Structure 1
């Protein structure tokens, strides 16, 4: 990967390497483990991603915050010995390309499929992620079927967003969608979403854009090639059981994830590709 003046590769004391972006447009950190963007700050604005203060950035463990890549399944696999949310978020990806212009910086990575255990994923495929960085953040996750048979998969870009008070946070734009929660439903979302308990809602037939109203401002979250999304906050009891998550941090984050799950599961025929996209920004 040929680096630009604004892009460098750095290493933490734990050994994790990350792509560091410092430009006139924004700053960002993208870890090779998991192709995981943990930080994105538009110039002159507030951070758009949240990371737990208890995160230790250890090798082999998914980062609690930023945007974990859940692939090629979301949630728990039917085989309980397989890792939750797939293996992409803990695999070491390969830095691929950097492109810089006056308006944006593009950073892409690929997952080397030769390192993937075929017991977990027996299909021939490729997986690429591209981060387009400006005053907004756009993430493209592209899967290509390189085999002679069709395969299906689920996925999510598990985005964590900051708020100073979850009780004063609302999500607009899910009205009219249906959701499953705790294996119950479907229910219809009639109003804007507020938070007063554990929330783990998997939406289908959702509009392509939502607004997260926080005390600090409004975060706009868009999706392409996705009609499903996941809204999550662990609340009090679950927060105490989570790893790399302080007991009180449920008050300061919310996840709204672009996804392909449930009826939105992707099936790829041979040589076909699918790109899941999410775009996030502060509203002016």
Structure 2
């Protein structure tokens, strides 16, 4: 059992789900071992930054809705018939490798090495997630190809952000990026992204810096070692059919995801590692 520094406890739901509860001078946070899933991060003096519905569920064999699901080692539909969308990492318990703390932050490392438990997946892929919970949130996902064959990887830190009202929210930083929506590539709009209906886009932007402005605060997201940013809001009709969400929740959430997706696929040689990272900060 990994020892816990002051301000960090390992707790458990009645269902058996284990989670870290973090209380640090810089922030409050919660992170589940199931899916290495962050469900709460709130810098001291701020409102919660990460969205989670009041109707949230904590399944033991599928993903938690909201928070920051880890889509890995593939994003979207699998190229292998019979495998779930968005990979297996968000559906399984990770191993808690280390927890440390200093005056600035709490650092949590979790690892996943269980591709053999996913029938039909032929690759030996290793994942390590390192999260720095402080005044800012730093998330780094390392993928290592431990097999002999090349490993194709698409992935996303599928972050649900808490916004005051999606109708008054805009995203900047992607004005000059082409994007794919409903399977069609679209030219860059040259304008900030605003929302008046379902939005599901993959923007091709290398190492983008995006800013979410909901009229009450601004959140900066720096995407590193990625060539894509996913922007998603399901809007009312889809939200009403999603587990772990209320019909009205679409108004208070927005996903801006650090990703390698669609054409931005990484091919890892045997023994090599690729890392992606997100830096999240309330401005």
Q: Secondary structure at the match of 2:240?
A: helix
What are the Cα deviations for residues 32-90 of structure 1, in whole angstroms up to 9, with x where unaligned? 00000000011121111001121121211211111000001111113452111111001
Q: TM-score, normalised by structure 2?
A: 0.96
* Cα contact 2:218–2:282 (8 A) shared by 1: yes
| Aligned residues between the structures | 282
Aligned to 2:217: 217
2:33 counterpart of 1:35: no
- Structure 1's consecutive aligned runs of 4 or more residues displaced over 4 angstroms after TM superposition are none
Q: Secondary structure at the match of 1:57?
A: coil
Instruction: State how far apart, in whole Å, the 2-side matches of 1:63 and 1:114 are.
Output: 20
Aligned to 1:250: 250
Aligned to 2:203: 203
Aligned to 1:193: 193
2:44 counterpart of 1:62: no
Which residues of 2 match residues 109-188 of structure 1 at below 5 A?
109-113=110-114, 116-120=117-121, 122-188=122-188
Instruction: State how far apart, in whole Å, the 1-side matches of 2:63 and 2:35 are.
Output: 7
Structure 1 segments unaligned to the other structure (5+ residues): none
Instruction: State how far apart, in whole Å, the 1-side matches of 2:179 and 2:102 are.
Output: 41
Aligned to 1:23: 24
Aligned to 1:226: 226
* Cα contact 1:213–1:219 (8 A) shared by 2: yes
> Offset of 1:262 from its aligned partner?
2.4
2:53 counterpart of 1:52: yes
* Cα contact 1:48–1:281 (8 A) shared by 2: no
Aligned to 2:72: 71
2:11 counterpart of 1:10: yes
Aligned to 1:267: 267
Q: TM-score, normalised by structure 1?
A: 0.95
Instruction: State how far apart, in whole Å, the 1-side matches of 2:267 and 2:74 are.
Output: 12
> Offset of 1:177 from its aligned partner?
0.1
Q: What RMSD in Å do the two structures reach over aligned CA positions?
A: 1.4
What are the Cα deviations for residues 103-126 of structure 1, in whole angstroms up to 9, with x where unaligned? 221100011326622512x22231
Instruction: State how far apart, in whole Å, the 1-side matches of 2:31 and 2:116 are.
Output: 20
Structure 2 segments unaligned to the other structure (5+ residues): none
> Offset of 1:206 from its aligned partner?
4.7
* Cα contact 1:4–1:98 (8 A) shared by 2: yes
Instruction: State how far apart, in whole Å, the 2-side matches of 1:203 and 1:211 are.
Output: 14
